[in-house]
Amino acid sequence: MAQSNTPAKTNPASAPGHDGTNSNPISATFTQETGNGGEIQQMTDDTAARLTTNHGLPISDNQNSLRAGTRGPTLLEDLVLREKIFHFDHERIPERIVHARGSVAHGTFTVSKAIPELTRAALFQKKGNICDVFVRFSTVAGGAGSVDTPRDIRGFAVKFYTEEGNWDLVGNNTPIFFIQDAMKFPDLVHSVKMEADRGYPQAASAHDTFWDFVSLMPETLHNVMWAMSDRGIPRSLRFMEGFGIHTFRLINAEGKGSFVRYHWKPRLGIQSLIWDESAKLQGADNDFHRRDLYEAIEAGSYPEWDLGIQVIDPEWAARQPYDILDATKLIPEEEVPVQLIGTMTLNRNPDNHFAENDQVAFLPSNILPGMDFSADPLLQGRLFSYLDTQKSRLGTTNFHQIPINAPRCPMHNFQRDGMMQTQIPKGRANYEPNSLAKAGEIGGPRADAKGGFRSTTDSDALGNDPTQKVRLRSETFADHYSQPRMFLRSLSKPELDHVVGALVFELSKVSIKAIREAVLAQLRNIDDEVAKRVANGLGMDKLPDAAPAARKAVDLPPSPALSILKHKAPAPKGRKLGILVGDGADAAAVKKLQDEARTAGASCMIISQKIGGAKLSDGSVLPADGQLAGTPSLIFDAVVITTGKEGYDALINDPAALEFAALAWSHLKALGLCPGGRKLLDKANGGQDEFTLDHKDAKGVVAKLADRAWDREEDLRPAP
């Protein structure tokens, strides 16, 4: 029987509880006095801007505890002290088990291609549709206080605030993961985290337990190769790809389902650090990635990514030697092209690190009508794990009410109460079905059979037999070696050399010989030549036999799309030029460099021996953005050294200047050099090649901002 849905008359809804609170910034007018003990007291008579307790009680003294006499004990009745210390003691929530260290930004997502033939999600029904997004990039293994640039996989999580609710696309900067089944996730994380008995190493996989796990779990090898590649040490969060990892499903209005995988393509291109650079940056600036993202957005250089999808034909999938539901396998773009369907622009930094970064909760289970999940066993486990962990981290099932997590569309249900409930539901209806609206009371929301979320019903998709109840993996998940082999054979020579070097470095930190041998036995199943090179780098005289393989590797065609360097070098946009300026430097040359960088969309930073700057050839003083001793060439994509005679005499004997030049050369960067700069580089044991240019060649220097002198590397750091 139909029931009236006419809303009953109610009192106006309460304010959400943010007006007149810390959410609204204020600046009190105050007078400054000196207290009895010489302490500063800043006092106001502005009642709208006075200091209060969390419950609104105005505070008269924020400098002194309540004591029994000026030199007596502090009294337990001091409610101001107790509340302040109580809140301080609990102002850090339990950090994430993984992905603890993250950097965040706000932005927008705009649909560039409508796809109603694939999904009924409202967001993708019309080109030009737009919604807000919140993005979190993160490292996996380290704690919240670790560094930005270790060798690690990077999280790439995006929260879309759409008119149909929040959609969380929670992925990484690699298209695959280490394991096939969520059952193994605790074991993987335990192995890569700090070793349980000694509490180190932090944010590093170069230790026994991780490589022991890898040697016994060949399904990890594909993502291990990605982690050991340049993808594991991105130059900037702005220069890395993102992936949804899993196979998902899109459902159109007719109920037809399509298997898809998601890709984020950075418009600035892909760029990585080299290992020595990464290691040194951990000391020079352990906030390097966070600072880079924040400063780019503050400067209006908004990073952008295009969202793409691979739409997978089930008949094509059935012919492949791997399973599209296997999260350790990628789908080559040459086989299934990526269709671009929208663009994300990050254009606003967070207002508060804790309220937004620490408290944001991403859930793979947050999807939209017209979307669904596949039977990927890793994805299936994540659907439970992410929801479960929020209660532990955020202390309440009401974490969705925290502003950064709250949907920006109507939200109504019959879930009530719970710790930290901030909403105030009206009326008696906390259940459904009910007939209270007939009596003029509030009846509450109801399900939408047509427009609401519906799961797919084809449980026999891809040949599955839903009548079985088993603890078995499909035989189609058994090939652990073909795709790692494809990945390695898709790389350029420098990239492959870097993988070999990374494996040698990591395994050299493994103290148990049997583990090193077991890893090499697995490597032989991927690429025997790579295994031999790694063994040579470790000083091993004999290779162990190849490990037993459930399924032998097959030679898949290389996928050039997996290589960073096989693509044309990106444009200079978004890169950073460092100009080391000494007294007497050519003023016109410096200005030309600054103008050229600005025209190309790059940023430019002036460095001098003193923060006050340097005196140029025209007599003007150019203020410095950074002091030489604290601004190494590590943080730049290319550098220029320009000085007159006075500056040269000071720079040539400055160890920081020599290191500035030496590291730029060692890290394969372009250098623009004046005659004095050339002598400085010579003294720093640098050489000359097509990436050493005249300091007046502004166009040439800026053109090489996003490139490196890879030929230089063979002489500097010969690979095993």
Q: Is 26 helix (H, G, I), strand (E, B) or coil?
A: coil
Name, in order, each residue with C-beta under 8 angstroms of 202's C-beta and a sequence gap of 6 or more. Answer: 142, 143, 146, 194
Low-confidence ranges of the chain (pLDDT < 50): 1-16
Token representation of residue 717: 């750091």
Token representation of residue 520: 């090499």
Which residue of the set 172, 223, 357, 525 is catalytic? 172
Token representation of residue 138: 């993160």
In a 13 Å sphere around the CA of 601, the CA atoms on its Cβ side amount to: 13
Is 446 annotated as ligand-binding?
no
Alpha helices in 266-376 (DSSP H): 275-284, 288-298, 314-318
Query: Which whole-number Å values give the CA distances from 437 to 3, 423, 441, 546, in the listed order?
Result: 8, 21, 5, 72
413 is catalytic: no
DSSP 565: T
Residue 439 dihedral angles phi and psi, to the nearest 5°? -95, 10
Is 210 annotated as ligand-binding?
no
Name, in order, each residue with C-beta under 8 angstroms of 481's C-beta and a sequence gap of 6 or more. Answer: 218, 221, 525, 526, 549, 551, 552, 553
Is 161 annotated as ligand-binding?
no
Residue 17: its pLDDT value, please? 53
* Rounded-to-integer distance, Cα 43 and Cα 41, Å: 6
Q: What is the CA radius of gyration of the chain?
A: 29
Whether 329 and 222 have beta carbons less than 8 Å apart is answered as yes
Token representation of residue 428: 């008696």
Residue 367: its pLDDT value, please? 93
CA dihedral sign, ordered 26, 32, 34, 36:
negative
* Rounded-to-integer distance, Cα 150 and Cα 128, Å: 38
CA dihedral sign, ordered 604, 609, 614, 616:
negative
Residue 137: its pLDDT value, please? 98
Residue type, 178: F
Whether 482 and 176 have beta carbons less than 8 Å apart is answered as no
Residue 37: its pLDDT value, please? 85
* Chain Cα centroid distance, residue 17: 32
E strands, 126-256, where? 130-139, 154-162, 165-172, 242-243, 248-251
Give all domains of the chain, ordered by start, each with its CATH number: 1-91 (4.10.91.20), 102-401 (2.40.180.10), 483-562 (1.20.1370.20), 576-716 (3.40.50.880)
Q: Residue 594's beta-bridge partner residues?
A: none
Q: Is 291 helix (H, G, I), strand (E, B) or coil?
A: helix
Give me the torsion for CA of 336, 486, 305, 268, rounded to 10°: -130
172 is catalytic: yes
Look up the pTM and report it.
Answer: 0.91
Residue type, 349: N
Is 96 annotated as ligand-binding?
yes
Token representation of residue 196: 């349980």
Rounded to 10°, the helix 482-489/221-228 angle is 20
Residue 532: its pLDDT value, please? 97
Q: Which residue has the tokens 């009190």?
A: 28
Is 382 annotated as ligand-binding?
yes
Residue 13: its pLDDT value, please? 39
Which uninterrupted H or E stretch holds 307?
A: strand 304-312
Residue 718 dihedral angles phi and psi, to the nearest 5°? -60, 135
CA dihedral sign, ordered 92, 95, 101, 107:
negative
Is 477 annotated as ligand-binding?
no
Q: Which residue has the tokens 């002194």?
A: 64
Rounded to 10°, the helix 655-666/275-284 angle is 150
Q: Residue 165's beta-bridge partner residues?
A: 162
